[in-house]
């Protein structure tokens, strides 16, 4: 192997790229959940819009980071401990958010029956 980077760095590179990809996917899921809430929940549209905008921005950043990681200087970015920590923290926060917004089985049934008014936005304005 003539690579200037140690083997464990290559494994870390795969891990960070996977995490960035997961962030992009979670952002899309959260966006879909927010659209459902936006249509169904009254008096929370401003909060929902704010969440959608923030998550969309994070998804765009994740996709841009993935492009950079695949580029010629990607190995240097992948070696950044701060990038690894930040990306993992973002993924954890998005997982928590997606979990809160994910429709329950009962909600899915109501959705199919067009009884969406029973939905409640799971956050307070300050969250």
Q: Is position 24 within any domain?
A: yes
Q: Is position 106 within any domain?
A: yes
Q: Is position 113 within any domain?
A: yes
Structure tokens at 36: 């459902």
Q: Is position 1 within any domain?
A: no
Q: Is position 123 within any domain?
A: no
Between CA 124 and CA 119 the distance in angstroms is: 14
Assign 43 a pLDDT band (cuts: 50, 70, 90). confident
Structural domain containing residue 82:
7-118
Q: Is position 34 within any domain?
A: yes
Q: Is position 126 within any domain?
A: no
pTM of the model: 0.68
| Domain count for the chain | 1
Find the Cα–Cα–Cα–Cα dihedral 119, 91, 55, 112, rounded to 10°.
Answer: -30
Q: Is position 127 within any domain?
A: no
Average pLDDT over residues 39-48: 85
Structure tokens at 95: 């997982």
Assign 17 a pLDDT band (cuts: 50, 70, 90). confident
């Amino acid at each position: 192997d003539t690579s200037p980077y140690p083997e464990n760095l290559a494994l870390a590179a795969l891990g960070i790229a996977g995490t960035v990809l997961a962030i992009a996917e979670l952002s899309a899921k959260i966006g879909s959940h927010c659209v459902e809430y936006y249509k169904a929940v009254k008096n929370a549209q401003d909060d929902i819009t704010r969440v959608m905008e923030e998550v969309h921005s994070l998804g765009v950043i994740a996709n841009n980071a993935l492009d950079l990681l695949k580029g010629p200087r990607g190995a240097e970015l992948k070696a950044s401990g701060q990038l690894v920590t930040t990306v993992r923290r973002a993924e954890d926060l998005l997982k928590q958010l997606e979990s809160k917004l994910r429709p329950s089985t009962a909600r899915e049934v109501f959705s199919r029956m067009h009884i969406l008014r029973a939905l409640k936005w799971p956050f307070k304005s300050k969250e």
